[in-house]
Chains A and B, each alone.
Chain A
């Protein structure tokens, strides 16, 4: 009995592991299938798609749909491809993410290390901002942008996203700095460091993991935003998401599915890159903290 029971246990273990792996593989395939369809079809000539066989590999491989989606496809009135809108999105997302992350860090620093009367109320109000639906603020925001003279500009969109992101970034940093030892701040005060010196020299260098989390969160949200882009952007500030919609849903001419697929992948690429690159830093940051203890 004592000899056979470990064998049964091992066999049982292998069987359950096999089941788990099969289930995981099925789900992985299920979730990757749309990406596969997009990829193979973006590399086919349009005739092949029309002939059917969405799942089959291309018979003639072609990069033409990608080139078209990037630089020559008809979007709106001009045949510019997605390139100028991609640039618009980049010009919007980089300052918006940077500013909202920095302000969130500063807010978190003040709300935890420079407590003042009513700080919890202020934090509560900022938190509330996370729960306001986008649609409610559309009209007031349009009015504010008009008054500030930012209507229809990329900087107007930056401002909208910074204001909207602040609630989340503040929440992230406040919770992170809450656990940050206050004695470090006090030691720096005795060393003579000023408010901003403490922030820049002591807190920020230790904020790697939370900066990565915030950047991923903000980048994804701002890059993927459609509503604000569609509402507040002018011809020369239209972001990628809105342009993609214009490309795909244009009602004139032939539906170039392969171009649409290529365009959709292009639109999703930057967020993917951010995940792949900084996700690794994120995990590394967590691990480092765990080992230090």
Chain B
């Protein structure tokens, strides 16, 4: 049985439904990331796990115990807040020890626990300082220290890195991952940054407007997005979503896409059964930029790589790669080429479509075709 389990959870503020029938679970030591655009309900979901918000319907279990009715302090959780929420009137030491002090842990035991955590997070030299005397990264560590010292069943992180500058954010991300691997803690982590989600998670839950869009491993979410929203949200640059038509062509199926001057056709992947029924109909053809590249740079282990000539509008050299932009199906499409690919803007060049990585969506329901 899962360690943290959320069953059919719903939450409404008056007439407004914030979360609708959400079911999730994560095993012990798992890293669950809740991701979505702002206002999707991810922070509310985290707050319901913390007990800071009540739920309207459903159940929350931690280690087999239903905690939905318990106050936050009885749930055996610890939380790191976006603003760190360090008590401004207390020193670092008092901040970390406050929870233990409230629970009546003796002073010497408290000091020992604070010392261990401070050692682990390398903040031992800051213990006597007030939060206002710390830098952003140091505050972040103190906030984590306050959570770690509790040794809870589940850690909750509410966008903990969003107040840090870009470089520090990447460092802290690595540090959180390292901490997770070392301690084997169970973590629920909220972010709107899909790269954070991909790098940290063992399981990702993508939310939008209070609905769970998809729940799966990072690889599943990335390679088999359940619908157009997930496909578009995860990945940077995001997946190309090209309006296309499925046609019968020489007894097989082909994908036909409008270009700026005419039309190109490439053979459709045979592994997706649902395409046969779609012959003659419209689909959304989804292909990630790294699966659309110059033929020399294409994945040679790919089972089905199709080539087609496309007009390159714009080139964006990014150092490690060069992004080429073309028009397909009336949309801008990004191809990710090798950095030294010999392409000029305005040229017509062959592009390789790695159809092993391609996905198709129903334009009406926006769901992925399988």
Chain A interface residues toward B at CB < 8 A? 181, 183-184, 186-193, 197, 201-202, 205-206, 292
Instruction: A188-B98, A190-B52, A292-B88 given; name 5 further pairs at CB < 8 Å.
Output: A186-B47, A186-B50, A186-B52, A192-B73, A202-B87
Interface size of B in residues (CB-CB distance below 8 Å): 23
Q: Which residues of A contact B78 (CB under 8 A)?
A: 190
The listed residue (B47, B73, B83, B89) touching A191 by CB distance below 8 A is B73
Q: Tell me which residues from 64 to 106 in chain B have a Cβ below 8 Å from any Cβ of chain A.
A: 71-73, 77-79, 81-83, 85, 87-89, 98-99, 102-103
Q: Which residues of B contact A202 (CB under 8 A)?
A: 87, 89
The closest CB in chain B to the CB of A181 belongs to B83
Q: Which residues of B contact A292 (CB under 8 A)?
A: 88, 132
CB distance from A178 to the nearest CB of B (A): 16
Q: Which residues of A contact B85 (CB under 8 A)?
A: 181, 183-184, 186-187
Number of A-B residue pairs at CB separation under 8 A? 58
A205 to B95, CA, bound (A): 14
Given contacts A183-B82, A193-B102, A197-B102, A188 and B87 within 8 Å (CB-CB): yes
A206 to B81, CA, bound (A): 19
CB distance from A23 to the nearest CB of B (A): 40
Instruction: Find out whether the CB atom of A191 lies under 8 angstroms from the CB atom of B88.
Output: no
Q: Which residues of B contact A205 (CB under 8 A)?
A: 89
A186 to B99, CA, bound (A): 12
Instruction: Find out whether the CB atom of A183 lies under 8 angstroms from the CB atom of B81.
Output: yes
Instruction: Find out whether the CB atom of B102 lies under 8 angstroms from the CB atom of A190.
Output: no
Q: Tell me which residues from 92 to 147 in chain B have a Cβ below 8 Å from any Cβ of chain A.
A: 98-99, 102-103, 132, 146
The closest CB in chain B to the CB of A183 belongs to B85
A239 to B274, CA, bound (A): 91
Instruction: Find out whether the CB atom of B73 lies under 8 angstroms from the CB atom of A189.
Output: yes
The closest CB in chain A to the CB of B71 belongs to A189
Q: Which residues of A contact B73 (CB under 8 A)?
A: 189-193
CB distance from B151 to the nearest CB of A (A): 14
Q: Tell me which residues from 15 to 73 in chain B have a Cβ below 8 Å from any Cβ of chain A.
A: 47, 50-52, 71-73
Instruction: Find out whether the CB atom of B83 lies under 8 angstroms from the CB atom of A183.
Output: yes
